[in-house]
Amino acid sequence: MIGSELTSTRSPRVTAARRLIKRAFRDRDGRFLAEGPQACREAAREPGVLIDLYVTTEAAQRHSDIVDSAKAAGAEIIWASGEVVSSLAGTITPQGMVGVCVKPERSLAAVVELAPKLVVLLAHARDPGNIGTVIRCADAAGADAVIVSDASVDPFNPKAVRASAGSVFHLPIVVGPTVDAAVGALRSVGMQILAADGAGDRDLDQLADEGALGADCVWIFGNEAWGLPDDTRALADNVVRVPIYGAAESLNLATAAAVCLYASARAHR
């Protein structure tokens, strides 16, 4: 049953939700926004993750399964006007649905205890769209966790969440450790450290042919504009380049991550 519609973008409730667009409020409140049917569907799969679902009547009719799942998971359904939903969304043409979700707390120690086989470490990544896409790639490749370094953009930024297409709800994401700390903790349990860099001295195909990708590994991916600094490269067992067979100068961060992660995933299987 559809209740009364929330129409004021200035209501205290909407104002509080809209503040989650900013990292300081996400960190303070332990909440973040998930925009669109795909993200909200994934958020509603487990009780306690989705707190509020702002949805227009049109979107509810198109995606009644998501509304039903959200109710079953204990979320409050907030019937809202298109203007209210748009005020919470980061896209020009929002899809009529935004969720307020609990920000998961994952620790580096907890990831180490998983005895992971494949981990992504984002070092100084600054583009939220790229971070979200790499999280999606990691999820698709069966990675055990994603670690986002202290100098990187928040992976729970609305743009990053949207780019992840729901994958932020599928695997542990650790936010905030230094690159040194993450590498040290994962190397202590026997994982090899591979750094992806266009100027790497090892070729991805060579490593695959040698069987080196079959070991448990951490892939480090760096900043979109300037790659990996020398001190981060020095932490790696191998600095690996993706071979370019055509005339392209390079691959962007997310594409390179997909190639490297699938190479490791195939070797593990």
| Residue 262: other Cβ atoms inside 10 A | 14
Q: In the predicted model, what is the mean pLDDT of residues 187-214?
A: 95
Q: How far is CA 255 from CA 38, 87, 190, in A?
A: 22, 32, 27
CB atoms within 10 A of CB 252: 11
CA quadruple 86, 89, 91, 97: dihedral sign? negative
- Which pLDDT band, with edges at 50, 70 and 90, does 47 fall under? very high
DSSP 5: P
Q: Which two tokens stand for residue 47?
A: 């009780």
User: Does pTM surpass 0.85?
Assistant: yes
Residue 75 vs residue 92, higher pLDDT: 75
Q: How far apart are CA 263 and CA 269, in angstroms?
A: 10
Q: pLDDT tens digits for 173-185?
A: 999 999 999 999 9
Query: Given a cut of 70, is residue 17 above it in pLDDT?
Result: yes
Look-up of token digits 């994982």: 191
What is the chain's Cα-based Rg?
A: 20
Complete domains list, the chain, with CATH: 12-102 (3.30.1330.30), 108-268 (3.40.1280.10)
Residues 26-61 as b or e (16 or more Cβ within 10 Å = b): beeeebbbbbbbbbbbbbbeeeebbbbbbbbeebbe
With 0-12 CB in 10 A as exposed, 13-18 as middle and 19+ as buried, what is 4? exposed
> Which ranges of the chain would DSSP assign to H, the alpha helix?
12-18, 23-29, 37-43, 57-62, 64-72, 82-88, 108-113, 128-140, 158-164, 179-187, 204-210, 230-233, 253-268
pLDDT score of 3: 63
Instruction: Identify the CA nearest to 175 among candidates 120, 219, 256, 224.
Output: 120
pLDDT of residue 4: 85
The answer to whether residues 112 and 185 touch, using CB atoms and an 8 Å cutoff, is: yes
pLDDT at 190 over 90: yes
Neighbours of 101 (CB within 10 A): 28
Tell me the percentage of the chain whose pLDDT exceeds 90.
91
> CA 253, CA 167: separation in Å to the nearest integer?
17
Q: What is the DSSP letter of 60?
A: H
User: Could you tell me what percent of the chain has a pLDDT over 70?
Assistant: 99
Phi-psi region of 140 (alpha: psi -120 to 50; beta: other; left: phi over 0): alpha
